[in-house]
Amino acid sequence: MTDTVDTSNPTNEAQEIEKELDDSARVLKRGAASAGAGDRRASTNDVVVARTDVEWLGEYLLGTWAAVRLGARELTARPELQRVEGQTYPEHRERVFGQLKLLVENGQVHRAFPKSLGGEDDHGGNIAGFEELVTADPSLQIKSGVQWGLFGAAVLHLGTQYHHDTFLPGIMSLEVPGAFAMTETGHGSDVAAIGTTATYDEATQEFVLDTPFRGAWKDYLGNAAKDGIAAVVFAQLVTKNVNHGVHAFYVPIRDAATGDFLPGVGGEDDGLKGGLNGIDNGRLHFTDVRIPRANLLNRYGDVAEDGTYSSSIESPGRRFFTMLGTLVQGRVSLDGASVAAAKIALTIAITYGNERRQFTAGSDTDEEVLLDYQLHQKRLIPKLATTYAASFAHEQLLTKFDQVFSGAADTDEDRQDLETLAAALKPLSTWHALETLQEAREACGGAGFLAENRLVGLRADLDIYATFEGDNHVLLQLVAKRLLSDYSRRFAKADFGVLARYVVEQAADRTVNSSGLRSLAQRVADLGSTARSVGQLREASAQRQLLTDRVETMVAEIAGALRPASKLSKKDAADLFNLHQAQIIEAARAHAELLQWEAFTEALEGEAGLTSGMDDGTRVVLTWLRDLFGLGLVEKHLAWYLMNGRLSPKRAQAVGLYTERLAARIRPHAQDLVKAFGYGPEHVRAAIATGAEKARQTEARDYYREARAAGTLPSPEKKPKRP
C-alpha cells in the first residue's frame, strides 16, 4: 500500500482537520431528513454553535431510574453517611456498620425484595440507588452490598418461600447481619472446585459442614470478622456418597447475644487491607457443623428426608451456572459504581485543571491554565469520552438486568445474554475507573495526593473492584468462550468471524467483511488528503466497521486455531487453549469496547437521542465526544489495524492528529460535561474542586498586576529581549 500524501507541513494538516471539525458541526435541521450523525456532511450549510445544555444532559444521564438516583444522591449528601478521613480501621468499621442502620431506616436497601415483605420488587432501581453509595464511601457501598446484595439476595434467589419467610425479615432489618461465604483461600474464581463439603446425615436429617483443609477456609468475606451472625455458605452437596456439586446453605455462625462463634465454627480477621477498611473482611472454617435439612437453599436442588437428591435442572453444569447466574447483580452494581467513581475523579481533575495556572508559556505575565495545555487535554478528555461511553453502556446493562429479574424477559437465553454482557462491561469499567483515578491524581499534582481531595482514597478502595465479583481476566475469558461458541454454532464453516448473538441481532448491518475495509483504506490513501481521511474516519459507519471487523477477525482467527481441540486429548486441548489465552482475552476486550461504542452511538443517534429534547449544539459536542472515544480505540490498537491491512499508514497517522484536535475542540465544554454528571460539592468533597484554587489564582494575579501598575516589582536579573 503506497501513501501519496506529503507530510512535511503539519500546520496545513492541522488546518485541514480544523475544517473537517467545522464541517462536523453542520447538522441537519430538526425535523429534516432522518439521517444520523454519520450523514451530517450531506446537511445544510447552517453552522451550529457547539454548546452543552447541562440541564438537559444531566437529566438524560440519570437514565431510566432518575428519581431513584436523585433520592440516593440526596441520601449520600448527608454527612453522617460520608467517610471520615483518618479514622483507624476499627473506627471506620464501626461507623460503616452504623450507617447500614441509617440505610434501613431510609428504606433504600429494601427495593429489590418482595412486596409481601416490605420491598418493592424493583430490581433495576435497587441497583441504580445502590451504586450511588460509592460517592459517600465505597466501604458503605460494598458492606451494604454484602448484606443485601449478596447474603440477602442469595436467600431470595436461591431459596424458596420457607427461606424467604424465615430468614429475609431479619436480613432486611439488619437484625441478622450476614456473610456471603463463597470464595475460599484456595479457590476464588473457580467456584466449582471449592473444598467445603455439606454431607447429608439421614439419621438426623442434617447437613454436616466441613472445611477439610486450610485452602478450603472461606476467605475475604465481608461481615465475617466481626459483625456477621449468619452466612450463606457454598459447599459441595454430598448425599448417599454422591457429590451433586456446589449448593448454598443458610448457616448460623455466631451467638447473637455474645458475638462468640458457635460450636464448630471458627475464623480470623483479615485485618488491615489496601482499601475498603470500613468492611470487616475475615475468614471462616467449619468442623462438623450441623444445620437442619431445611437450611439448604433448595430452589434448584433439594434433598428428601431419606437423602434422595432431586433437581429441576438435570445437567449438573447447567444447574451450577444457573445458580451462580442469579447472583449477577454484584457485577452489574460494580460496573455502575466504577462509572460513578470515574465521574467524581474527572469532576475533580477537570475543575482543578480549569483553575490551576502554571508557567508563562504564552505571556510574560499571565500563567496558563493547565487544561489549555495539549498534554493535559490528552490525559483527561479521552478519559471523559470513555466515561460517557461506559455510562451509556451501563444503562443498557441495568435495563437488561431489570428485564431479566422482573420477569419481563427471563428466558434462558436472556439470562445468558445478561451474564455475558455483565462479564464484558464490568472489567472495562473497573479498569477504567482505576486508570482515571490515577491519571486524575497525577494531573492534580501534589494536591491530588492529599487525602482531603479523595483521589488516593477512592483509588485504594476501588483497587479490589478489578478482582472481586469475578477477576476481570477470568470474566473476559468467559465472554470469549461465548463469542467462540456462537461462532462455532452458527458459522463453523465460514471464513469470517461473527459477534456474539445478542450484538449481531441489535444491528444487522454491523457485520462487514474485511476486504471492504481494505478497499476503503486504499481509496483514502489514493485520494492523498488528510482532511478526506479524517472525514471518512469520523463517520459512524466507518468507526463501526473498524471496531466490528477487529472483533470478527480476532474471533475467527482464534476459532480456527482452536478447531483441532475437539480431536485432542483433554491435556493437549487445554494446552492449545492456554497457548491462545492472551488472544482470547484481547478479543473479548475488543468486543466489550465495541459494546460501549454502540451504546454511546445509540444514545446519540437512536430514537431516544433524537426525540428527547437534545438540541443541535449538544449533539455536536456529544458527537465529538463519541468520535474521540471511537477513534481513540482505533488509535489504541493502531498496530493491529496496520498489520492486518485495515488502515493505510497515512490514514493511521490521521487518527492521532484528529483525536488531538477533537480533544482541543471539546476542551471548552469539558467543565459543562462534568457538571452534567450531577454531582454537587456535597458528593465530590474535594477541596481543590470547590473554587478555592480559582480564588488563590485570582488573588495572585491581582497582586502582581497591582504591583506592576505601581512600579513596585523588582527588576528581573535577565532583561527581556527587545523585538
CATH of the domain at 556: 1.20.140.10
List pLDDT tens digits, range 653-698.
889 889 999 999 999 999 999 999 999 999 999 999 999 988 998 8
Q: Is residue 479 part of a domain?
A: no
Q: Is residue 483 part of a domain?
A: no
Of the candidates 275, 303, 325, which is a domain's last residue?
325
Q: Determine the pLDDT at residue 427.
A: 97
Q: Determine the pLDDT at residue 564.
A: 85
Q: Is residue 258 part of a domain?
A: yes
Dihedral, 583, 585, 587, 589 alpha carbons, nearest 10? -140
Do residues 423 and 470 make contact, with C-beta atoms less than 8 angstroms apart? Answer: yes
Strand pairing class (265-269; 282-286): antiparallel
Average pLDDT for residues 409-419, to the nearest whole number?
90
The pLDDT-based confidence of 503 (bands split at 50, 70, 90) is: very low
Length of the chain equals 723
List pLDDT tens digits, range 574-601.
888 888 889 999 999 999 999 999 999 9
Using alpha carbons, select from 423, 193, 403 the residue that is nearest to residue 325: 423
In this structure, are 225 and 135 located in the same domain? yes
Compare 208 and 713 and report the one with higher pLDDT: 208
Query: How many domains, in total, are found in the chain?
Result: 3
Q: Determine the pLDDT at residue 155.
A: 97
Q: Determine the pLDDT at residue 108.
A: 81
CATH number of the domain at 272, please. Answer: 2.40.110.10
Q: Is residue 723 part of a domain?
A: no
* Residue indicated by cell numbers 461465548: 482
List pLDDT tens digits, range 5-16.
334 455 566 666
In this structure, are 241 and 188 located in the same domain? yes
List pLDDT tens digits, range 122-148.
999 999 999 999 999 999 999 999 999
- N-terminal to C-terminal alpha carbon distance within the chain: 48
User: pLDDT at residue 522 above 60?
Assistant: no
Helix 412-443 / helix 329-353 crossing angle, nearest 10 deg: 30
In this structure, are 664 and 685 located in the same domain? no
Q: Determine the pLDDT at residue 530.
A: 56
In this structure, are 199 and 140 located in the same domain? yes
- Mean pLDDT taken over the chain: 87
Q: Determine the pLDDT at residue 35.
A: 38
User: pLDDT at residue 282 above 60?
Assistant: yes
Average pLDDT for residues 164-177, to the nearest whole number?
97
Q: Determine the pLDDT at residue 610.
A: 46
DSSP secondary structure, 356-388, as one string? -EE--SS-SSPPEEGGGSHHHHHHHHHHHHHHH
Q: Determine the pLDDT at residue 531.
A: 57
Q: Determine the pLDDT at residue 326.
A: 78
Compare 179 and 360 and report the one with higher pLDDT: 179
Q: Is residue 722 part of a domain?
A: no
Q: Is residue 55 part of a domain?
A: no
Q: Determine the pLDDT at residue 3.
A: 38
- Domain with 257 in it: 62-325
The pLDDT-based confidence of 40 (bands split at 50, 70, 90) is: very low
Of the candidates 293, 325, 357, which is a domain's last residue?
325
Name which of 211-220, 259-268, 635-644, 713-722 the model is least confident about. Answer: 713-722
User: pLDDT at residue 351 above 70?
Assistant: yes
In degrees, rounded to 5, the angle at the alpha carbon of residue 420 between the alpha carbons of residues 609 and 154 is: 110
User: pLDDT at residue 53 above 70?
Assistant: yes
